[in-house]
Structure 1
Amino acid sequence: MTLYARFAAHLDAALDTLVAAGDVPGGLNRAPVTVEPPRDASHGDLATNAAMVLAKPAGTNPRALAEKIAAELRLLDEVEDVSIAGPGFINMKLNDDSWRAELSAIRDAGADYGRATIGRGVTVNVEYVSANPTGPMHMGHCRGAVVGDALAALLEFAGHKVIREYYVNDAGGQVDTLARSAHLRYREALGADIGAIPEGLYPGEYLVPVGQALAAEYGDRFVDAPESDWLVLFRKAAVAAMLVMIRADLALLGIHHDLFSSEAELQAAGKPEAAEAELRARGLIYDGVLEAPKGQELEDWEPVVLPLFRSTQFGDDQDRPIRKSNGQWTYFGADLAYHYQKAQSADALIDVWGADHAGTVKRITAAVQALTGGKTRFDVKLVQMVRLLRAGEPVKMSKRSGNFVTLADVVREVGKDVVRFTMLTRKADAQMDFDFAKVVEASKDNPVFYVQYAHARIASLHRRAAEANIVCEGVDLSQLDTEDLALVKLAAQFPRIVETAATAREPHRIAFYLYDLAASLHAQWNVGNDRVDRRFLIADNPAITCARLFLADAIGQIIRNGLGIMGVVAVEEMN
């Protein structure tokens, strides 16, 4: 049990004692009670809001309840002092032995330190990337891919069962355009002079091998054939080729999905009809007429009866059509069915979308709430685009012209770990610049380097200790003083960071925490540059050296655990 979990248990026991004594009524909801670091470190090591959140339901005032709780906490051997701040916040200062015990716990748990159980028994479906299968991955897809993958890993680390899913949009007009573009390249492979790529088709060179493969398989059979003869065939072949390319691109980032779900297969299996029937049976779909568009010319507008979902009952701005006037499914109708399918195998759903899909959030949230009776938690993480720079100058991207910066190009230039870490150095919904020069810069201002350098410094200690013939067969942690143990206080926060990040669905919190931990390690290291007694390795003092090596190893373990969640490898040396 980690330190914060242990003190949460201590607090529970203290409250149980007060209940038994009749000082606090039983049956109070303790869920809002927290144990966390105080906002001001000078107030102590741990703080709890127990008196503040329990006083009113307990029928007393916070200060009086805080005094009773504090009296119980003062009996703990690990507690050096307990004080009450303001109207009833309880602050605790722990003795050094409690931090030494946590240091041992970190080393004992190793790769499992920080793992949580808050997700036990909960299956979460995380759908991310889901780019149209019309070309290779470009940097517009990168951030959502990394955020989704890191979020999936974070949730697993917190105890959830996770399904990583990619939704293949292979039923819309864009895949027909892909098929026509592939047919053009097919004709080219057979010797035709196709000239300039016509407006509206995909111009990228990546379709050349697709056309060549089709020519090898079918010869000139479809060169002059009507579109109806080859469109479905070419569409299927082109989408399959694009998915091979997309999987390979994602693999460069270390991303592998458990499931690729096809929109075309979803519709062929009648899933949209099943969702419609379910909602009609519950009175949530009706045949009605949409309101006339506001602020637009209405000469060409005609009222049409459409099947409408009552999304206004679930907080949306208006009811939404699930079919078009020609009977085809709307984007919303297809998405509704897709989420219905996902909800049947998961307790919670998370979609990672580009920020340009913000307008869709309300209606899909309404649909999931309706389809699951509010039992399935649904979150959307909106991810802002990334602006590419070279030495501060924008890098132009144009998917339409076929000249765009591919994800593969970026990974090959700066490396998977740099790309992944950088994408998590901002909140997902905040704007981000990716400067090719800065992300590989060896400076404190580059979080990727700063965290990796901390781990490399720790790894170097063992090489230097071996060179100094220092062998640590037994470690006396009492050699570590309060100044040393300041690092442990920050390290001990890792389990609660994991829990709060997983609950908030925010993997960037891990990156922020690792930067702070690395900064503390570097600061302590740098003190040793001026004071020999504060160095991690003191050749003529094996006892303190071994204790500090133990401390450094624990910090290195947490860095590895955090980087593992982010999908980043912890390096042993910096080149």
Structure 2
Amino acid sequence: MNLFTDIRALVIDSLTALQSEGALPEGLDFANVTVEPPRDAAHGDMATNAAMVLAKPAKMKPRDIAEALAAKLLQDLRIEVAEVAGPGFLNMRLAPDLWRGVVGAALEKGRDFGRSSMGQGRKVNVEFVSANPTGPLHVGHTRGAVFGDALAALLDFAGHDVTREYYINDGGAQVDVLARSVFERYREACGLTPDIAEGLYPGNYLVPVGQALKDKVGDSLLDKGEQFWLEEVREFATEKMMDMIRADLASLGVEMDVFFSEKSLYGSGRIEAALEELDAKGLIYEGVLPPPKGKPDEDWEPREQTLFKSTDHGDDVDRPVKKSDGGWTYFAPDIAYHYDKVQRGFDELIDVFGADHGGYVKRMKAAVSALSDGKVPLDIKLCQLVRLFRDGQPFKMSKRAGNFVTLREVVDLVGPDVTRFVMLTRKNDAPLDFDFAKVLEQSKDNPVFYVQYASARIHSVLRKARDAGIAVDDATLKAADLSLLAHEAEMAVVKKLAEWPRLVEIAARTNEPHRVAFYLYELAGEFHALWNRGNDLPELRFLQEGDSSATQAKIALIRSVSIVISAGLGILGVTPAEEMR
């Protein structure tokens, strides 16, 4: 049940009727007609821009259209008031019973209330985290992991067929560095002094990996040259790092559907096939790039390279795919990887990158556009940095990791639920401050607590009602007399509940799961306001002594709030609280 969609349909039907009556010309496009909450709630329940967007193509004054539309809308019992404001905005007030129907719909649908068919089963691939397998995940990866997982859950809730995917960057030189670093820890496990030279990974997290390698091969590698052990140690170390990464993700409640190895592309012919596809479209050529813009680079020299003509698909400059020495650039396997995703039949691709990958956006979008003939959109979401604090002071780095705070450290300190919610309290492209003291604070200023407190309060009311012998199962509550919900504070909660289906579709359409966290905070605010009003007005208290009908109507309302909070937190990957400890 999406009231905003229903009322928009009513507006469109009314406009169509005006056309048939000759009050509006035929052939008007209604695609840009919207029905939204007004900026000022005092103006009404909903507002439409119909008259403003249709005035020019209809060659009519917007106010004339608005007045005709208002008269037509008032013929429907769902509309109590339709008022023209300003040059032609139309504000509407809905019949209270229409709003109250939202409570019944929530009780009927349960956690599926607000679930949408908007996605129509379209296959969407969400690639996120995709960290180099050279160490444990750090706090920056944490934000990307939470964002990507919540986005995937949101898209699923909105009717898409979603695949969560991790791209293992195991094909580059950094994995050789990992192997050499592990070999030094292997030597340490064999009783020798490790030589952690500059450029190797210094973190103590590699100590158990070195020990595990010794347990597997004994001291058989000690006297061999690098050319004999590098490949074996690289594979062993990568596998151990991915085990660590999987465990880190599991601690956060993240499970991937697919782990795709970059290394699997090399020697398979898939890189060549992707570039041949681009070449067949006339997009691969031999050429020389201009020097970098800005400050002159004295080390730059013109070199002929194999280039992808990405400027044909919106990039600022063409991009090299093969070096002058014949080796692949980093971009080449990434092109092949995305070509693989296109060939797997995805209707849409989403990549979640760290903020340092901003320069990669246009070239990757150009590649996917070229490979799919513009049929498969690629949306790249950049997650900005997370700044860690404790009591307002910068949080010190991890000794175990070497030079960063790990995902596991954050989860161990505050728990997965708090971690996930806080990571979604800012839009992904805005920096986020994470203060370990504040995120555990029990106050309205802490959105995690505020939402969970609402959930716990509702569960406490339900327990008290059951203890008093009042039936509060959903089947009973669905039959409650909702006309007893009449106070403005109660209706404010109802109207906020009605926004949930619309919010889901907007958040899914824009790929912005933080909107869910914001909405839950607002819904919790309306609930807490109603709770507090009950301290002064006994008739607003949820348990009405001697009046089971009023009690069940009020509990039906807050049970609906609990349902939506549970569904919203489910999208965020957070477990709703039944009591606060």
- TM-score normalised by structure 2 residue count: 0.95
What displacement does 1:249 show?
0.5
The AA in structure 2 aligned to 1:50 is A
Report how many aligned residue pairs link the two structures.
Answer: 574
- Equivalent in the alignment of 1:163: 163
Structure 2 SS opposite 1:29: coil
- Asked if residue 225 in structure 1 is aligned to residue 230 in structure 2, the reply is no
What displacement does 1:115 show?
0.9
- Rate the CA distance shift 1:71–1:299 in 2: closer, same or farther, 3 A: closer
Q: How does 1:93-492 map to 2 (within 5 A)?
A: 93-194=93-194, 197-294=196-293, 300-344=299-343, 345-397=345-397, 402-471=402-471, 473=476, 474-483=479-488, 484-492=490-498
Residues 348-382 of structure 1 deviation map (CA, whole Å, 9 limit, x = unaligned): 11111111111111111221222212111111111
Residues 219-241 of structure 1 deviation map (CA, whole Å, 9 limit, x = unaligned): 22221211111111111111111
Structure 2 SS opposite 1:137: coil
- Asked if residue 523 in structure 1 is aligned to residue 529 in structure 2, the reply is yes
Which piece of structure 1 moves more, 109-118 or 400-409?
400-409
What displacement does 1:22 show?
3.3
What displacement does 1:436 show?
0.8
- Equivalent in the alignment of 2:579: 573
Q: Is the 8 A contact 1:354 1:383 kept in 2?
A: yes
Structure 2 SS opposite 1:343: helix
Residues 57-81 of structure 1 deviation map (CA, whole Å, 9 limit, x = unaligned): 3333322222222222111111111
What displacement does 1:8 show?
2.1
State the distance in 1 between where 2:57 and 2:144 align: 43
- Equivalent in the alignment of 2:79: 79
Q: Is the 8 A contact 1:470 1:539 kept in 2?
A: no
Q: Is the 8 A contact 1:79 1:93 kept in 2?
A: yes
Q: Is the 8 A contact 1:205 1:402 kept in 2?
A: yes
State the distance in 2 between where 1:331 and 1:314 align: 19
State the distance in 1 between where 2:266 and 2:166 align: 16
The AA in structure 2 aligned to 1:481 is A
Q: Is the 8 A contact 1:203 1:400 kept in 2?
A: no
State the distance in 2 between where 1:260 and 1:90 align: 51
% of aligned pairs identical?
A: 57
Structure 2 SS opposite 1:492: helix
- Asked if residue 503 in structure 1 is aligned to residue 509 in structure 2, the reply is yes
State the distance in 2 between where 1:401 and 1:494 align: 41
- Rate the CA distance shift 1:53–1:187 in 2: closer, same or farther, 3 A: same
The AA in structure 1 aligned to 2:266 is Q
State the distance in 2 between where 1:96 and 1:173 align: 65
State the distance in 1 between where 2:298 and 2:61 align: 67
Residues 298-339 of structure 1 deviation map (CA, whole Å, 9 limit, x = unaligned): 665432211111122223221111111221111222222222
- Rate the CA distance shift 1:122–1:28 in 2: closer, same or farther, 3 A: farther
Q: Is the 8 A contact 2:205 2:401 kept in 1?
A: no
State the distance in 1 between where 2:319 and 2:269 align: 20
The AA in structure 2 aligned to 1:16 is T
What displacement does 1:27 show?
4.3
The AA in structure 2 aligned to 1:392 is G
Q: Is the 8 A contact 1:175 1:235 kept in 2?
A: yes
What displacement does 1:188 show?
1.8
State the distance in 2 between where 1:61 and 1:262 align: 61
Structure 1 residue ranges (4+ consecutive) displaced by more than 6 angstroms after TM superposition: 398-401
What displacement does 1:542 show?
2.2
Q: Is the 8 A contact 2:124 2:162 kept in 1?
A: yes
Structure 1 SS opposite 2:266: helix
The AA in structure 2 aligned to 1:542 is S
- Rate the CA distance shift 1:299–1:531 in 2: closer, same or farther, 3 A: closer
- Equivalent in the alignment of 2:569: 563
Which piece of structure 1 moves more, 183-192 or 277-286?
183-192
State the distance in 2 between where 1:302 and 1:97 align: 74
- Rate the CA distance shift 1:208–1:356 in 2: closer, same or farther, 3 A: same
Q: Is the 8 A contact 1:119 1:155 kept in 2?
A: yes
Q: Is the 8 A contact 1:80 1:92 kept in 2?
A: yes
The AA in structure 1 aligned to 2:527 is L
- Rate the CA distance shift 1:401–1:41 in 2: closer, same or farther, 3 A: closer
- Equivalent in the alignment of 1:553: 559
The AA in structure 2 aligned to 1:544 is A
State the distance in 2 between where 1:115 and 1:25 align: 37
Structure 1 SS opposite 2:322: coil
RMSD: 1.7
- Rate the CA distance shift 1:63–1:220 in 2: closer, same or farther, 3 A: same
The AA in structure 1 aligned to 2:482 is L
- TM-score normalised by structure 1 residue count: 0.96
Residues 381-410 of structure 1 deviation map (CA, whole Å, 9 limit, x = unaligned): 111111111111111336897153221122
Residues 477-500 of structure 1 deviation map (CA, whole Å, 9 limit, x = unaligned): 111104222211111000111111
State the distance in 1 between where 2:375 and 2:54 align: 28
The AA in structure 1 aligned to 2:418 is V
State the distance in 2 between where 1:488 and 1:524 align: 11
Residues 513-550 of structure 1 deviation map (CA, whole Å, 9 limit, x = unaligned): 10001001001100111221221222233221111000
Q: Is the 8 A contact 2:14 2:69 kept in 1?
A: yes
The AA in structure 1 aligned to 2:328 is W
State the distance in 1 between where 2:87 and 2:338 align: 47
State the distance in 1 between where 2:287 and 2:253 align: 48
State the distance in 2 between where 1:154 and 1:324 align: 41
Q: Is the 8 A contact 2:391 2:436 kept in 1?
A: yes
- Rate the CA distance shift 1:299–1:154 in 2: closer, same or farther, 3 A: closer
Residues 124-182 of structure 1 deviation map (CA, whole Å, 9 limit, x = unaligned): 11111011000111212110110111011111111111111111000111100001111
The AA in structure 1 aligned to 2:226 is E
Q: Is the 8 A contact 1:144 1:352 kept in 2?
A: yes
- Asked if residue 542 in structure 1 is aligned to residue 548 in structure 2, the reply is yes
State the distance in 1 between where 2:397 and 2:364 align: 30
Q: Is the 8 A contact 2:2 2:502 kept in 1?
A: no
State the distance in 1 between where 2:399 and 2:73 align: 62
